[in-house]
Chain A
Amino acid sequence: MSSRPGQQTYLWEEDLHSGSHWSGIIRRGTTLRMTDVDGGANVGALFYNHEDRLERYNMADTLKAQHTAYLTKGFVCYSDMGRILCSITEDTCGWHDTVCGVSNGALVADKYGTTRFEEQRNGYYKNGYDSFLNELGKYGLGKRDIVPNVNFFSKVTVGHEGQLYFRPGGSKPGNYVDLRFEMHTLVVLSTCQHPLDPEPSYHPRYVRLLATATGPAPAKDACRERCPENERGFRNTEMLYAS
């Protein structure tokens, strides 16, 4: 499954239904493209080291190392152990939220109303928190393992006094983001709406997943060279896989 730098080998693709949840193991050297086919999607994402699930995506370390409050091309997602789970190698959207977390059952009921499977069948309203619990439970993980997540395709800016502003239209039809995995990673995704999405109706969007074998970060790489912090983060990551 190894690839030469620059070479991309098709692995698989799958559509992720609107308002659904998904998890999978994405290996070091695989790039996952997420495409917001219709525009306006939100993908809540958590990342865990597949070989040690105590090591996980860390919002604060990601933001501090790169002096940013949002993610786009050139940034990486750090674990709490000073390593890089994945790098953002392409992004046509431009802004992915890192601070707002996910919706929960009470928020969804309050915004969109109460639904039950008995009446709505699979159209019942999902929420991000329960979606994460559903996927994490498959690996023996649970509430203790939920940390602040990334919200891909959602733009939330911060005012001078700290006000949070959700920016509708942050993601256009066909926008995509590429995550190149630098570690063997358990990826947990939810396509529920962003918790600050002002749209009054329940209207999550689907996304398309495409996995290709690209190899991990080469020696000369925009994410690696973005800042000295990232060079050290890649050094820490490569130590783990040195053999």
Chain B
Amino acid sequence: MTTESSLDPTAAVLDEIVPAGEPWMGVVRKGQHLRIVDLEGNQAVDTLFYSAATMEERYSASDTVRAQGNLYLTTGTRLLSNEGNAMLQIVADTCGRHDTLGGACSAESNTVRYALEKRHMHSCRDNFLLALARADCGLGKRDLSSNINFFMNVPVTPGGQLTFADGISAAGRYVEMRAEMDVIVLISNCPQLNNPCNAYNPTPVRLMVWDAPGASTS
């Protein structure tokens, strides 16, 4: 379901561009809103969340889809942790459908899916691993569970076939979520060149954060 946000872009406390193929890591506090804008359209944004207080608590794709009885993420979806707690809730979405089944690309999965010669190509898992290593926060490969792919379209048919379809996103579409706890956000702005998840052309995205209404501006 597509819904718009009423937040004023000029009031954002963070407003950054993540170039195509780059990682991003940061903290979003309880009550803050995080918006991801698909600037040029059809750009997969691979995303994981960890509780800032207890990093063993993290986003769980299976708990999220099972609890809402639906495979796709959109407005109203509560992004649940492995402990069953809501980490964030999607409060606005002008795309309408986001994936949490398709995971992240890696050098190794590229060899399986495309060709052995694709091993060298840049991947989301390399982004995740490098961002976690640089952050030196105690997280690593062990902590890379199934992620969200914002703006990615991975339809499943009633017969159980899974396809990577052309995106339903477009330039300027966004998804916005409200944090229900302090969360660490780990993003890979997907560099995949071998399938239509990025329309074969990875592009930048914009990240924006707003404080909770009534929060102190210190």
Contacts and interface: CB of A to CB of B under 8 A. Distances in A.
B65 interface: yes
Interface residues of B, number: 43
Interface string A227-243: 00100110110000000
Given A64-B113, A99-B71, A229-B113, A80 B146 contact: no
Contact of B66 (A61, A100, A236): A100
Interface in A133-184: 142-149, 157-164
Given A99-B62, A157-B158, A158-B157, A163 B69 contact: yes
Given A61-B103, A82-B109, A236-B111, A67 B161 contact: yes
B61 interface: yes
A82 B62 contact: no
B71 A143 contact: no
Contacts of B72: 161-162
Contacts of B146: 59-60, 147-148
Contact of B158 (A107, A143, A159): A159
B132 interface: no
Among B72, B113, B115, B116, chain A packs the most CB atoms within 10 A around the CB of B113
A47 interface: no
Interface stretch (B3-11, B37-45, B137-145, B200-208): B137-145
Interface of B is mostly: loop
Contacts of A104: 63, 83-84
Interface residues of A, number: 49
Contacts of A144: 56, 142-143
Interface in A47-93: 54, 58-61, 63-65, 67-70, 78, 80-83
Nearest to B66: A100
A64 B61 contact: no
Among B60, B104, B160, chain A packs the most CB atoms within 10 A around the CB of B160
A106 interface: yes
Given A70-B160, A158-B156, A164 B70 contact: yes
B198 to A, nearest CB: 15
A119 B66 CA distance: 31
Closest 5 CB pairs of A and B: A60-B103, A101-B62, A82-B108, A162-B72, A162-B71
5 contacts: A61-B106, A61-B112, A82-B111, A164-B71, A236-B108
Given A99-B66, A148-B146, A229-B112, 15 more contacts: A58-B103, A61-B109, A64-B164, A67-B163, A80-B108, A80-B109, A143-B82, A148-B61, A160-B158, A163-B70, A163-B71, A195-B66, A232-B116, A233-B112, A235-B116
Interface of A: 54, 58-61, 63-65, 67-70, 78, 80-83, 95, 99-102, 104, 106-107, 129, 142-149, 157-164, 195-196, 229, 232-233, 235-236
